Amino acid sequence: MKNDLHIDAVAEYYDTHPISEQQIIDKLRRDGVDIARVSEDTLQDHDQDHYGGVSANDALAALAGIDDGCHVLDVCCGLGGPSRYLAHKYGCRVTGVDLTESRVEGAIRLTAMVGLHDRVTFQCANALDLPFNDGTFDVVISQEAFCHIPDKDRLVSECARALKPGGRIAFTDILATDSTTDATRERLQREMTFVELGSQDAYRRQFEREGCAVVKAQDVSDEWRLILVDRLAMYRSLKEQTVERFGSAHFTKRDNAYSFFVSRYETGELGGYRFLVRRKSSPRDPGS
């Protein structure tokens, strides 16, 4: 029940997000782009809902060794920006899953718009219950989404299960630090639907239990602290459209919530990590 309420809260959060399929199309039109002829090279600058834009996708691709022989699962794919980018640049096949129906529908339409639908497909699904057979994918990726997911043991188990033996998981996540207070956790849960913040040590233990090894854990907190200041400014620049779509009370509520979130990077209460995890191919495989 608690989980169902949480699922509704996440879907509502993303249904009323300032970045949306329509907002992206409106922005392209304002830039004079002909939507009937838009290419992934243009779309990729508008549809990435994580920190660091397309270079963050390249960082994951380099860590995981993504190439044209890979089938990649993008967990919590949003509007599908990273999925399309990886397929376009590296030639891989990508399957994206997301909980929020409007995100998945938008992802499918944007992908058809740039003609990548033969290699990039999407499904509406909960990351805690992935609709795939064991050992389906070479690589799993995810960005800035696991913080929304309540049962990290189950999440890690599902991601590991979907991977082939020897497969890689490359992901970034918003993490708690030693100084995260209960009041901050409670507020982020209520206002940002960050139901459970992971930590570096907890992820290491969780992946180890699932027959995986954390090969790399890169601290990106300093990088994100700067990016998030710009991101707050970007959301503020969308004030007119956000107020028009959802009203001024919604804009103010979101603005307060996001400002508080960004300020936790200044206080050191939040951090960010980029992980490379490898599923061991046998119990004797050291994993790295």
Ligand X SMILES: C[S@@+](CC[C@H](N)C(=O)[O-])C[C@H]1O[C@@H](n2cnc3c(N)ncnc32)[C@H](O)[C@@H]1O
Residues with catalytic roles: 144
The yes or no reply on residue 49 touching ligand X (CB under 6 A) is: yes
Query: How many whole angstroms separate alpha carbon 104 and alpha carbon 76?
Result: 10
Report the Cα–Cα distance between both ends of the chain, in Å, rounded: 39
Which secondary structure element, helix H or strand E, spans residue 72, and what is its range? strand 71-75
Query: How many whole angstroms separate alpha carbon 239 and alpha carbon 221?
Result: 27
- Among 22-30, 73-81, 184-192, 279-287, the segment contacting ligand X (CB under 6 A): 73-81
The yes or no reply on residue 93 touching ligand X (CB under 6 A) is: no
Give the residue, chosen from 60, 66, 114, 127, that forms a contact with ligand X under the rule CB under 6 A.
127
Query: How many whole angstroms separate alpha carbon 19 and alpha carbon 82?
Result: 15
∠113-118-124 over CA atoms, to 5°?
80
Smallest distance, Å, CB 255 to ligand X? 17
Could you tell me which residues come within 8 angstroms of residue 93 by beta carbon, excluding any fewer than 6 positions away? 70, 71, 72, 87, 119, 120
CB 186 within 8 A of CB 197: no
- Among 132-140, 143-151, 197-205, 210-218, the segment contacting ligand X (CB under 6 A): 143-151
The closest residue (CB) to ligand X is: 78
The yes or no reply on residue 103 touching ligand X (CB under 6 A) is: yes
Could you tell me which residues come within 8 angstroms of residue 5 by beta carbon, excluding any fewer than 6 positions away? none
The yes or no reply on residue 143 touching ligand X (CB under 6 A) is: yes
Smallest distance, Å, CB 253 to ligand X? 18
∠25-30-36 over CA atoms, to 5°?
50
Each residue 152-191 as x (binds ligand X by CB under 6 A) or -, in order, gives ----------------------------------------
The yes or no reply on residue 104 touching ligand X (CB under 6 A) is: no
| Tokens matching residue 129 | 């219950």
Closer residue to ligand X, CB minimum distance, 101 or 281? 101
Give the residue, chosen from 10, 159, 175, 228, that forms a contact with ligand X under the rule CB under 6 A.
10
The yes or no reply on residue 139 touching ligand X (CB under 6 A) is: no
Closer residue to ligand X, CB minimum distance, 124 or 243? 124
Which secondary structure element, helix H or strand E, spans residue 122, and what is its range? strand 120-124
- Among 48-56, 110-118, 206-214, 264-272, the segment contacting ligand X (CB under 6 A): 48-56
Instruction: Give the position of tokens 């995100």.
Output: 103
- The torsion angles phi and psi of 222, rounded to 5 degrees, stand at -65, -45
Closer residue to ligand X, CB minimum distance, 76 or 280? 76
| Tokens matching residue 37 | 């002829």
Closer residue to ligand X, CB minimum distance, 128 or 213? 128
Query: How many whole angstroms separate alpha carbon 6 and alpha carbon 29?
Result: 35
Give the residue, chosen from 25, 28, 72, 77, that forms a contact with ligand X under the rule CB under 6 A.
77
CB 262 within 8 A of CB 232: yes
- Among 114-122, 145-153, 206-214, 260-268, the segment contacting ligand X (CB under 6 A): 145-153
Give the residue, chosen from 20, 48, 157, 242, that forms a contact with ligand X under the rule CB under 6 A.
48
| Tokens matching residue 225 | 């602290």
**Which residues would be at the binding site for ligand X (CB under 6 A)?**
10, 14, 48-50, 76-78, 81-82, 97-100, 103, 126-128, 143-145, 148-149
